[in-house]
Amino acid sequence: MIPWQNRLPQGTRPFLQPMTLILVCIVFISLILFTGLMDIGRLDQTLRLFMENHGLDISGRIQRDTQENFSNINQVLRGEQLGDALSPFTEEALLPQESFIDALVRLTRRIDKSLDSGVIELEGLKRVAADHHLSLLALMDEKGRPRLQTRPFSKNLLRRAKAVIEGKKETSIDIFNRYGDHEKLGSIALRRGTGSGILLVAWDDPGLRYWGLKVALQRAVEEAGRNEKLPYIAVMDASDGSLLASLGDLPGEMTKDERALLDILNGKAAVSSRKITLQGKNLFEILAPLYLDNSLAGVVRVGLQRDQADQVIGKNRTLMIISMVFIMLIGLLSIWFLYQNQNRNLARIEEMRKELQKSERLSSLGQLAAGVAHEIRNPLNAISMASQRLQREFLPPDQGKMEEFGRITGVIRDEVRRLNGIIEEFLSFSRSQRLELRDYSIEAVLQKLVQLVGEEAASRGITIETRWGDHPTSIPMDVDKLQQAFLNFIKNAMESISGEGVIAISIEPLGNENISVKIADTGKGLTPGEMDRIFNPEYTTKEKGLGLGLPIAYEIVRGHGGDIRVQSQVGLGTTFDILLPLGRAEA
């Protein structure tokens, strides 16, 4: 809904003289803004390069530590596989191997726990083996007889699990002792947590290398995280995008379809970075390739804090904004002084132009009205005399029809008299009018108007609804003029309805000082531009007539010390809220 209350249309004359100064200020401010943005962009690029180099350093350390840990694990795997004599192990060499065995044992226990969650089927067992890069996954009963297995296995693997089968051990680990086994499998056998049998897990060389790489990566990632205190680190497999190692809370999974990751995997970029927000913290995420044995093994994701970088950029941005604000203030003050001076002159010229147009229009209307007033009054006099003769000489004999006949002829006579008054008021519209106020019932005025327009409204399919109390409300009014104002509002509502519709007329008290008369219709409604001008005598949307109904009504209401509020929406209708004082007010 768009409210209207006592508004006049604003002047639309363009403000031309300060345009040159405005353009100069705009160009000057644009140059400063462009220079500042370029400086901030260069600073941001420098900080981004610094962050990327730092991320590459971290990735390089992870790569070196992973290579060292992986070599220590493979030392045993290759030595046992080839039957070579092993070199003495140091504590640094044994730690990765212990972590490797511990990781495989934890994996075996997780697999055992996951198999207890539902009915075990062969296809499900094969999926578990494939997901964890297992060569063999078998479930055996208490005597070591296979109940469910992903593939057949040799008696040599069964002999390795003999201690678990006989109940001497809970777990049997044989990862590196593969010499003489034609399958060359590392295995772990453990008694199931449910006590329902034995779980046998075996890995071939690719599976052991895969888990050796994961253990080596996890140790390297944890070491880098402790040294750098990073929000998160993750390493993704270059082949399938799976997570090989991680530390901290990751901002979400990254698929292989993402452009930055594809550029790293395809060798198009040596490093990639982006700004992210994780748990309310601003971070730089660095993507860098991870090479093992001169081949791409994965992609490292490193999260770096960028609070300090943001502070540096923020300080430079603040200085630039302060400089721009000072320059803009100087320009705006200059424009404001020019604007005030020019606008005062333009406002006076515009006001004089409108007053001149209004005077010319009213003068033309007055001359036109004076020319046709005589022609209008003659038929009105004839109608008045005819109605009087009808009332005297043609009364119906029936008593009920006689009262209705008298009421109708009285309405004709009253309306002729009111039309004469309208002609007089139209002729003197531009002059101030003195109202003859007396206390009169506003309900009676509205009821008379409803009866007057009821037949016309019914013929057009328009329903008139009324809502007011049983006790009449008397207010000081010039009855004829206020009746004319209300009639203009009702006729305007009828003209806005095309086809069937409803006009609702209601009276509501507003405290002890005012009363509200609302006339609402379901017509076509008004646009904001029309609402600004409906009470302007210079404006009309009618193809026929002068369109003075609403301006006259507005002047009459204002003369009674009242006001008019309008609410309208295109397509839904318009509501005129006429506020009138309960006591006398100076016109």
Task: CATH number of the domain at 535, please.
Answer: 3.30.565.10
DSSP H helical ranges for 428-533: 442-459, 479-496, 528-531
pLDDT of residue 502: 92
The answer to whether residues 133 and 206 touch, using CB atoms and an 8 Å cutoff, is: yes
User: How far apart are the C-alpha atoms of 424 and 411, rounded to whole Å?
Assistant: 20
**221 Cβ contact partners less than 8 Å away, ≥ 6 residues apart:** 62, 233, 234, 235, 245, 246, 247
Residue 555 lies in a domain: yes
In the structure encoding, which two tokens stand for residue 391, read together?
Answer: 């009332």
Residue 577 lies in a domain: yes
Report the 10 Å Cβ neighbour count for 2: 14
DSSP symbols for 521-542 = E-S----HHHHTTTT-TT----
The answer to whether residues 160 and 172 touch, using CB atoms and an 8 Å cutoff, is: yes
Counting runs of H as helices and runs of E as strands, what totals does the chain give?
A: 13, 18
In the structure encoding, which two tokens stand for residue 226, read together?
Answer: 């402790």
Distances (CA, A) of 203 to 112, 131, 143, 330, 430: 16, 13, 23, 78, 106
Residue 102's closest CA among 33, 175, 155, 170? 175
Strands 281-292 and 272-278 turn out to be antiparallel
User: How far apart are the C-alpha atoms of 394 and 405, rounded to whole Å?
Assistant: 9
In the structure encoding, which two tokens stand for residue 325, read together?
Answer: 């604000």
Total number of domains constituting the chain: 1
In the structure encoding, which two tokens stand for residue 501, read together?
Answer: 């519709």
Report the 10 Å Cβ neighbour count for 586: 5
User: How far apart are the C-alpha atoms of 73 and 97, rounded to whole Å?
Assistant: 5
pLDDT of residue 327: 72
Residue 226 lies in a domain: no
The answer to whether residues 563 and 6 touch, using CB atoms and an 8 Å cutoff, is: yes
DSSP symbols for 492-522 = HHHHH--SSEEEEEEEEEETTTEEEEEEEE-
Q: Is 236 exposed, middle or buried (0-12, 13-18, 19+ CB in 10 A)?
A: buried
- Quote the radius of gyration of the chain (alpha carbons, Å): 48
Phi-psi region of 509 (alpha: psi -120 to 50; beta: other; left: phi over 0): beta
pLDDT of residue 86: 44
Residue 85 lies in a domain: no
Distances (CA, A) of 542 to 62, 361, 534, 539, 547: 84, 16, 11, 9, 6
The parent domain of residue 478 ranges over: 435-581
| φ, ψ for residue 296, nearest 5 deg | -70, 115
Residue 442 lies in a domain: yes
Q: Is the pTM of this model over 0.75?
A: no
| First-last CA distance in the chain | 31
Using DSSP, state whether 545 is helix, strand or coil.
Answer: coil
In the structure encoding, which two tokens stand for residue 300, read together?
Answer: 């490292």
In the structure encoding, which two tokens stand for residue 176, read together?
Answer: 């590196």
DSSP symbols for 245-267 = EEEE--S----TTSHHHHHHHTT
Phi-psi region of 293 (alpha: psi -120 to 50; beta: other; left: phi over 0): left
Going through 161-250 in order, the beta strands assigned E by DSSP cover 171-174, 186-191, 198-203, 232-237, 243-248
The answer to whether residues 582 and 561 touch, using CB atoms and an 8 Å cutoff, is: no
Using DSSP, state whether 362 is helix, strand or coil.
Answer: helix
Residue 563 lies in a domain: yes
Residue 230 lies in a domain: no
pLDDT of residue 541: 61
pLDDT of residue 551: 82
| φ, ψ for residue 246, nearest 5 deg | -155, 160
Distances (CA, A) of 93 to 179, 218, 265, 304: 21, 16, 31, 31
User: How far apart are the C-alpha atoms of 392 and 384, rounded to whole Å?
Assistant: 13
In the structure encoding, which two tokens stand for residue 242, read together?
Answer: 């799976």
User: How far apart are the C-alpha atoms of 1 and 4, rounded to whole Å?
Assistant: 10
Residue 575 lies in a domain: yes
pLDDT of residue 505: 92
User: How far apart are the C-alpha atoms of 568 and 4, rounded to whole Å?
Assistant: 9
| φ, ψ for residue 187, nearest 5 deg | -140, 160
| φ, ψ for residue 145, nearest 5 deg | -90, 130
Q: pLDDT of the chain along its 587 residues, tens only?
A: 444 444 444 444 444 455 666 676 677 777 777 877 787 778 778 888 888 888 889 888 988 988 888 888 877 776 544 344 444 455 565 677 788 888 888 888 888 888 877 677 888 889 988 888 898 999 988 888 888 899 888 888 888 888 888 888 888 888 876 555 566 788 889 988 777 789 999 988 888 888 888 888 888 888 888 877 888 898 988 888 888 888 888 888 777 778 888 888 888 888 888 888 888 888 888 899 988 888 888 899 888 887 777 777 777 777 777 877 777 677 677 777 777 777 788 888 888 888 787 667 766 766 666 666 666 767 777 787 787 777 777 777 777 777 788 788 788 877 887 777 666 655 555 444 577 888 999 999 999 998 888 888 888 899 999 998 777 888 898 888 898 889 989 988 998 888 889 999 999 988 888 899 999 998 888 888 888 778 776 566 655 444 567 888 888 888 888 999 999 888 889 999 999 998 875 54
